[in-house]
């Protein structure tokens, strides 16, 4: 029985599964949205925490004492346990697998500062490490958000590029023209092209004359005239004549791939 698909929330809380999430446009958008939300929440708590801790020149810190400790505890706790939970859960998963990754490193730093401050708060000693834990979570969330935003843009661009390949092609098989999936076209197949068709695979023009828009390869918007013997690039557009080509490269061997 196949395992159920991961939800966006599950993937966000498991950084090691981000590659799986990025393969689905909807999942990738949900993951990026969740991390962006966690970052802004973390920032909203971290800024006053840093200001109250006295680490900013010119801004006095809260008077040392139990009250200051508990105020900082209240500000840091949601940052560590909600905003930063994806790193903590990722560290737990990595340790269960007996591996060390970036989540383990982040969780170690965050928990060391946070738990030490909690201990000092409980025993009544001035605690001044809450801001370090919150800032670490906030900075890493921001970097993670930027990384996912960049990766999602690249994935969308690649998906748009591969969408240039038509899903089917008209191929001459056993003396008859049949429509087959582009993935079923093999080297040597004779492919018929009509005006406006996208060329399914790389090949050589064997019959007819036409103009081909090869801007995806050359960047030149002006169609190029093609005659028998000329090379054709998969993904380009046959703009004028009805022609016949022979497939010379398919699948991962094409120029587009």
Could you read off the pLDDT of 33-78 as tens digits, one per residue? 999 999 999 999 999 998 888 777 667 667 667 888 899 999 999 9
Averaged pLDDT, 180-202: 85
For every residue of 133-166, DSSP letters joined together read HHHHHHHHHHHHHHHHHHHHHHHHHHHHHHTTS-
Cα–Cα distance measured from residue 31 to residue 13, given in angstroms and rounded to the nearest whole number: 9
pLDDT digits (tens, 9 = 90+) for 121-156: 998 888 779 999 999 999 999 999 998 888 777 766
DSSP string, 177-225: EEEEEGGG--TT-EEEE-TTPBP-SEEEEEE--EEEE-HHHH---S-EE
φ and ψ of 250, to 5 deg: -135, 165
Helix count and strand count (H, E) for the chain: 8, 9
Higher pLDDT, 163 or 103: 103
- Residue 11's pLDDT band, with cuts at 50, 70 and 90, is very low
CB atoms closer than 10 angstroms to residue 97? 10
Global pTM reads 0.61
Angle at which helices 66-78 and 130-162 cross, to 10° = 10
**Most confident residue range from 7-16, 78-87, 186-195, 220-229:** 78-87
Q: How far apart are CA 188 and CA 198, in angstroms?
A: 18
Give 71-126 pLDDT, tens digit per residue: 999 999 999 999 999 999 999 999 999 999 999 999 999 999 999 999 999 988 88
Run of H or E including 176: strand 176-181
Per-residue model confidence (pLDDT) at position 162: 66
* Average pLDDT of the residues of the chain: 82
Query: For position 23, what pLDDT does the model report?
Result: 53
């Amino acid at each position: 029985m196949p395992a159920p698909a991961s939800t966006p929330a599950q993937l966000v809380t498991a950084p090691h599964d981000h590659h799986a999430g990025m393969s689905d446009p909807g999942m990738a958008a949900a993951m990026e949205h969740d991390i962006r939300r966690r970052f802004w929440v973390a920032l909203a708590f971290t800024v006053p925490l840093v200001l109250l801790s006295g680490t900013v020149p010119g801004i006095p810190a809260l008077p040392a004492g139990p009250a200051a400790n508990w105020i900082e505890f209240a500000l840091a706790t949601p940052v560590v346990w909600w905003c930063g939970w994806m790193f903590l859960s990722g560290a737990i998963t990595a340790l269960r697998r007996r591996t060390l990754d970036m989540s383990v490193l982040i969780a170690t730093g965050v928990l060391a500062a946070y738990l030490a401050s909690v201990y000092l708060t409980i025993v009544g000693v001035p605690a001044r490490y809450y801001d370090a834990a919150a800032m670490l979570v906030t900075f890493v969330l921001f970097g993670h958000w930027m990384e996912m935003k960049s990766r999602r843009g690249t994935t969308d661009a690649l998906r748009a590029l591969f969408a240039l390949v038509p899903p089917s092609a008209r191929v001459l098989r056993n003396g008859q023209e049949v429509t087959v999936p582009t993935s079923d076209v093999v080297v040597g197949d004779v492919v018929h092209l009509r005006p406006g068709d996208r060329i399914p695979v790389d090949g050589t023009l064997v019959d007819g004359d036409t103009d081909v828009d090869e801007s995806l390869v050359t960047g030149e918007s002006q169609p190029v005239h093609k005659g028998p013997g000329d090379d054709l690039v998969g993904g380009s557009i046959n703009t004028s004549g009805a022609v016949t080509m022979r497939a010379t490269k398919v699948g991962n061997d094409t120029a587009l791939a």
